[in-house]
Amino acid sequence: MSSENVIHLERLELTEIEMPLKWPFETSFGRTTRRRIIIAKVFDRDGAAGYGECTASEDPFYNHETADTAWLIIVKYAAPLLVGAKVERAAQVGDALARIRGNRMAKGAVEAAVWDLEARASNLPLWKHLGGTRAEIDCGVSIGLQETPQKLLEKVDREISSGYQRIKIKIKPGRDLELVKAIRARYPAILLSVDANSAYTLSDVDLFKELDQYNLLMIEQPLAPGDLVDHSKLQRQIVTPICLDESIITEADARHALELGSCRIINIKLGRVGGHAEARRIHDHAVERSIPVWCGGMLEAGIGRAHNIAMSTLSGFTLPGDVSASERYWEQDIIEPPVVVSREGKITPPAGAGIGYRVNEQRIESLKVRREEISLRV
């Protein structure tokens, strides 16, 4: 983008939509059946628009944020700060909002929308605008806790036969080893990982030592989000790489985790870290340290999914992510075409400008729960 081609933010349109998931999604912290999703749409003074999706959950059980807190933070704090800071580049949004502590999913929704707008203004696909280089991204799936091990195996069968390259299952105390054993008995060689969403403590080290026998690709977030020290103690006692999700909120967290040896893999989620700029800083640091990263998911609708695809094209995303086809979640997505995954378990990033998918405004209207328009004019 040439220097005179700066963004003049005019308006922010916030819309909350509600979408039923095709299947409930259960983790160690709870069960989700419907998503409440905030869409941030930013307009420049010429009427061009960019879209972001807030990845905050309905309840504060994954992290402290919720759809309600994100709405409040964006309306009351993020929008006014953007006006005051006279933001002209997507890369400046993070600094403009830095005074707001935490609440990165709220800030990240707006940040991502400005990146989409800037990419469109430059007539570039967002993934290229971000510096992405991958012509295809590798896809895995995250499978929630099921009623029985048998039902879990049926889900695994379906995903493997669809072509997904990696299976991740959710575990929690009492529902861990038997699930891994059951899957490994049927699939000795697939890429398989487990995600505990912080359900364990260091006193569970014997379980993790047992899991070491099953050739897992990684164990995701076994311990508490703030506990880099205990993760480091655990990693030193087991062979399977630990991957951190909830613990990594900033580039500094990534640095600290790698310095302490708390993990050997990092899950990057756009919302959790506050947007593309911080995600890229974490990515760059991991690449420098030869640490593989992959893109996590938060049961996103199409706009969030499209941003995840763009981010996943950065060179360091060398492991299959949790970004999968729209049809695994939604009867009808809010973008067109929906995200599709090939028989080889790959997504081709779109060629169009910005996020590269058409946003189905009519669909959004039909799912709308509330809307607020906020002027961003300086």
Q: Which residues are catalytic?
A: 170, 269
HEC letters along 79-136: HHHHHHHCCCCHHHHHHHCCCCCCCHHHHHHHHHHHHHHHHHHCCCEHHHHCCCCCCC
Q: Are 358 and 338 in contact (CB under 8 A)?
A: no
Instruction: Verify binding: residue 19, ligand OSB, rule CB under 6 A.
Output: no
Q: For ligand OSB, how many residues bind (rule: CB under 6 A)?
A: 10
* Interface with ligand OSB in residues 298-317 (CB under 6 A): 298-299
In the set 51, 62, 71, 164, which binds ligand OSB (CB under 6 A)? 62
Instruction: Verify binding: residue 142, ligand OSB, rule CB under 6 A.
Output: yes
Shortest Cβ 35–Mg ion spacing (Å): 17
HEC letters along 305-367: HHHHHHHHCCCCCCCCECCCCHHHCCCCCCEECCCCCCCCCEECCCCCCECCCEECHHHHHHH
Closer residue to ligand OSB in complex, CB, 143/376: 143
Q: How many residues does the chain have?
A: 378
How far is Cα 182 from Cα 135, in angstroms, rounded to an integer?
35
Considering only the stretches 66-74, 177-185, 291-299, 339-347, report the one whose residues sit in contact with ligand OSB under the rule CB under 6 A: 291-299
How far is Cα 219 from Cα 267, in angstroms, rounded to an integer?
11
Instruction: Verify binding: residue 296, ligand OSB, rule CB under 6 A.
Output: yes
Between helix 104-121 and helix 302-312 the angle, nearest 10°, is 70
Task: Beginning with the edge strand found earlier in the chain, give each strand of the sheet holding 30-44 in spatial order.
Answer: 49-53, 30-44, 9-27, 368-375
Closer residue to ligand OSB in complex, CB, 32/92: 32
Instruction: Verify binding: residue 245, ligand OSB, rule CB under 6 A.
Output: yes
In the set 195, 227, 230, 251, which binds Mg ion (CB under 5 A)? 195
Sign of the Cα torsion 222, 228, 230, 232 reads: positive
297 binds, among ligand OSB, Mg ion, none (CB under 5 to 8 A by kind): ligand OSB
Q: Are 71 and 241 in contact (CB under 8 A)?
A: no
Instruction: Verify binding: residue 118, ligand OSB, rule CB under 6 A.
Output: no
Read off the amino acid at residue 151.
K
Instruction: Verify binding: residue 300, Mg ion, rule CB under 5 A.
Output: no
Instruction: Verify binding: residue 65, ligand OSB, rule CB under 6 A.
Output: no
Instruction: Verify binding: residue 176, ligand OSB, rule CB under 6 A.
Output: no
Instruction: Verify binding: residue 245, Mg ion, rule CB under 5 A.
Output: yes
Closer residue to ligand OSB in complex, CB, 50/222: 222
Contacting positions for ligand OSB (CB under 6 A)? 62, 142, 195, 197, 245, 296-299, 322
Contacting positions for Mg ion (CB under 5 A)? 195, 220, 245
